[in-house]
Amino acid sequence: MRFSYKNVCLEAFSYTLPEEVVTSAQIEARLEPLYRRLRLPEGRLELMTGIAQRRFWPAGMLPGDQSVRTAEKAIRIAGLDKRHVGALVHGSVCRDYVEPATACAVHHRLGLPERCAIYDVSNACLGLLSGAVQVANMIELGQIRAGVVVGTESGRGLVENTIRRLNSDTSLSRNDIKPAVASLTIGSGSAAMVLVDGGLSRTGNRLLGGVARANTDFCHLCRGGTDESADAAPLMWTDSETLLQQGVQTARLAFDEFLDTLGWQKAQIDKTFCHQVGRAHQKLLFELLGLDPAIDYTTFDRLGNTGAVALPTAAAIGIEQGRLAPGDRVALLGIGSGINVLMLGLDWRKSLGDEGTV
């Protein structure tokens, strides 16, 4: 699928992060029974993934609580009058309840107009990017003038339940624990994006378009749900190696379409922000796409994999740190389990200043 836009600007990114920092060394210390039984060397988690730490929200926090804070910040950065917001999409894996949509409570607390499309989008690690495409489509069609996409991921429950399972099941071998490694890389965070039509934009940061591509032959490689034996605590099993290989191969095919859709050559891409998985993922992706890793901005080493908010959080922090310059061609390269790939291109003109929230 290809899409292009003439009247859509990606006006602002924002993020908030938890205060609590949890290192990979601390997680390994809690896995001491498993490490001792299987004689695993300390430091392997960071060595394998490149992830030194991640952050966790306080136990019991509802994702929507942070999404309100992050969306409010994005609207403030954009300098947008809330009466222009015609859509609010909540796109994280984590949500407050099965129903109603988490977007409902966020919409209410933000005080957005009643004539506003509000709903949740679920697409694994591509939820926020998928929401951005839907909002962009509405703007391009003239249905709305502005929209907000927001989400909040909370990794504490998944990581803690994975630790409990790995320590308690003494039948597990070294090979058996491999599908659980990805769960130990998960972190927490919150991110938002504001999209507007050209008439409302103060930046001129045009969203040019992009492509979507699926490879559902491998939809079984990463499955998350609940562990019914532990009070419905979250649990996820991932064939990380195969998902890595098939994910970047799907991205390689999508990338050719992406360049053709935007009329770009790969050498013309000035900066990239990608989904944040780990060191091996970034290395193989950039090798297969033929891109210089120096143009990428990464956060996985200090934030881990924060799911659907990972890419927009990296973009928000990178922009805050002056990563982008006027005239930059920016590629947002998203890969999520499923397998789904979503790539968007930006013509960057101006960064609106604000301080990050931790």
Residue 26's Cβ-count burial label (10 Å; 0-12, 13-18, 19+) is exposed
Cα–Cα distance, 257 to 210 (Å, whole number): 8
Contact 51, 299 (CB under 8 A): no
Buried-exposed string 275-286: b where 16+ CB fall within 10 A, e elsewhere:
bbbbbebbebbb
Cα–Cα distance, 343 to 201 (Å, whole number): 22
Peptide bond into 339 cis (omega under 30): yes
Angle ∠(225,230,235) on CA atoms, nearest 5: 25
For residue 330, list its beta bridge partners. Answer: 271, 346
Residue 289's Cβ-count burial label (10 Å; 0-12, 13-18, 19+) is buried
Cite the active site residues: 99, 125
Cα–Cα distance, 326 to 113 (Å, whole number): 33
Residues 6+ positions from 47 with CB-CB distance below 8 Å: none
Would strands 206-214 and 85-90 be described as parallel, antiparallel, or unpaired?
unpaired
Contact 262, 345 (CB under 8 A): yes
Helix, coil or strand: residue 148: strand
Helix, coil or strand: residue 24: helix
Residues 6+ positions from 253 with CB-CB distance below 8 Å: 213
- Name the residue with tokens 């060595």: 47
Element (H, E) at 330: strand 329-336
